[in-house]
Amino acid sequence: MQTRRDFLAGLAGTTLALLAPAGFTAIVPRRSRRLSFFHTHTGHQLETIYFRDGDYLAEELARVERFMRDFRTREAHPIERGLLDQLHLLGQGIKPDGVFEVISAYRSPETNATLHEKSSGVAKQSLHMVGKAIDVRLDGVKTRDLRDAALKLRAGGVGYYPESDFVHLDTGRVRSW
């Protein structure tokens, strides 16, 4: 007998599959969401199933938070669940077993201010400071292709930095640069 939770989980997965942009592989409704990461500055790796059977897993979200902390100050901050879901959808559509290479995730206000002083490309009120942005690559995928898939997803901001070989993703308003 199907429970209400089973029905809603199936409905959510089906909705994601129907909303997937053209060019994405078919997304089969799943009861779990998995992500794999490699942090380019620390050399740390993380593989996590952060969502299972209709629920976000607090222990796994805490592991993600620690992994994505400001590597300069070691300060951690909660990472928005929608950002993880955005990465999951991108990964499933492009390279399901791929590893996201993290260049920058959470940034403390102090780190962000220092970077902002050095570069006009760093926003003064960056979404990195509130756990809503990440700069990444996806192993084996051209950053141009990752950018294009993220733009089709229309889940937030997408910045493309070909010289530095990464894509900025955030859960703010839909925009690109």
Q: Which residues pair with 55 in a beta bridge?
A: 52
23, part of any domain: no
Q: Which of 36, 82, 32 is nearest to 52 (CA)?
A: 32
Determine the pLDDT at residue 27. Answer: 46
118, part of any domain: yes
20, part of any domain: no
At 1, which amino acid appears? M
167, part of any domain: yes
Number of domains in the chain: 1
Q: Tokens for 164? A: 């530095």
Written as tens digits, the pLDDT of the chain (177 aa) is 444 444 344 444 444 444 444 444 444 445 899 999 999 999 999 999 999 999 999 999 999 999 999 999 999 999 999 999 999 999 999 999 999 999 999 999 999 998 888 887 788 889 999 999 999 999 999 999 999 999 999 999 999 999 999 999 999 999 999
84, part of any domain: yes
CA atoms within 13 A on the CB side of 167: 24
Could you tell me the end-to-end alpha-carbon distance of the chain, in angstroms, rounded to an integer?
Answer: 49
Rg of the chain taking only CA atoms, in angstroms: 16
Q: 66 Cβ partners below 8 Å, 6+ apart? A: 76
At 132, which amino acid appears? K
Full residue range of the structural domain in which residue 163 is found: 4-14+29-176
Residue located via tokens 């493309």: 160
164, part of any domain: yes
The CATH number covering residue 69 comes to 3.30.1380.10
